Structure 1
């Protein structure tokens, strides 16, 4: 039954309602003829709501804002070549034992883990990736056919940011994102030895480039410190340092 003309119409004349609770009785509102009449009446009346492009939003030349001009004219960030990240403190208590892994009859390795909500999951991976995860301290050996991931997505992000003290690995400024030293597009994995803290600008500028290509203009850390700059990764807590 149409709400406007009050006549019974086929279900195909009404718009389909979507959602989890929508069913055969979910079609309601105005029928097709009433929608056409309302649309034509709105166009004849010159209703502003029916205009797809009001005059205030018409295309005009883009005017650069002062902030955009300053960002475009700003000098590139000063990059510092820092040592690679070290393994976790408790990772050296037991050898990684990645050489003991053996594939199953299907030629895969079982990998277990937990989600951020604590639910268990299991999937299969290849032998080379499993050995890389164990070697770079992202997983441990359960048996020769199974490995277990040590971090969830949330705990891994918190671990990397706290380990690097929210300091960008490339420029030394404040950072709150995670970047891969060897990009995933070139075979890198999300492991503690391949991930570092990075600021948003350095993360976007590096993209899928190799570390040596991105840091070719960087200066050594000793030169950076001897020039009167203080290393942000000192023993002083980050909360007490100005941003």
Structure 2
């Protein structure tokens, strides 16, 4: 039997070398590996370092949200979805850090946050200078302020209650803090007189 020459353009032509000998079938099917017989391994790109205090690396998930996680006062873990604007604000105002491109972590539980603010401000009311043991928002939550270290200060009860929904500048201009400071002094004097009478 006579062997027929392979037709031009057929798969068999590719297997015939320049010497007329048939090349091994596997050499032409190296799956993009060039002349090597094994496929190339793709090495994963090195992970990009993320600055925990820079929110510019954040991305939203398919639902258009960013995952936020944290811990309760009792140490139980929680998570929720927040919009990008809130996530960026929390990171910029030192209440959270970036964990990865889709997640931030709250830095404080409620109790830890209050303790942090009072200790930082040395239990001194930001508005009148009296002893304070509550925290207040410089820009009230009603006007878009958030519970963050940059937006919260130590306040005495009087200032906290009388400030209500005013922002800090408006409250300071009102003259109420001076009145509160004088009133606090009167209360302290009365308390000392009562203690002496006893």
| Fold shared, TM-score > 0.5 on shorter chain | yes
When normalised by structure 2's length, the TM-score is 0.61
CA contact (8 A) 2:68 2:103 kept: yes
| Match for residue 205 of structure 1 among 147, 150, 162 | 162
* Secondary structure of 2:97 counterpart: strand
Q: Secondary structure at the match of 2:114?
A: helix
Distance 2:161 2:65 in 1: 35
Counterpart of 1:123?
A: 80
Check the 8 A contact 2:69/2:104 in 1, yes or no. yes
Larger RCO (alpha carbons 8 Å, 6+ apart): 1
Secondary structure, aligned partner of 2:166: coil
- Choose the corresponding residue for 2:70, options 107, 113, 128: 113
Aligned Cα RMSD in Å? 1.2
Partner of residue 181, structure 2: none
Distance 1:196 1:158 in 2: 11
Which secondary structure state, in structure 2, belongs to the residue aligned with residue 201 of structure 1?
Answer: helix
95 and 142 in structure 1: CA distance in 2 versus 1, 3 angstrom threshold: closer
Unaligned runs of 5+ in 1: 1-93, 219-243
Which portions of structure 1, spanning 4 or more consecutive aligned residues, are displaced by more than 2 angstroms? Answer: none
Aligned to 1:134: 91
Distance 1:95 1:193 in 2: 17
**Correspondence list, 1:84-103, <5 A:** 96-103=53-60
- Report how far residue 100 of structure 1 moved: 1.1
Alpha-carbon distance in structure 2 between the residues aligned to 1:156 and 1:148: 14
1:129-163 superposed Cα distances (whole Å, 9 cap, x missing partner) = 00000001100000111000000001111000001
Offset at 1:213?
A: 1.1
Aligned residue in 1 for 2:106: 149
TM-score by length of 1: 0.50
Question: 1: distance between equivalents of 2:167 and 2:114?
Answer: 22
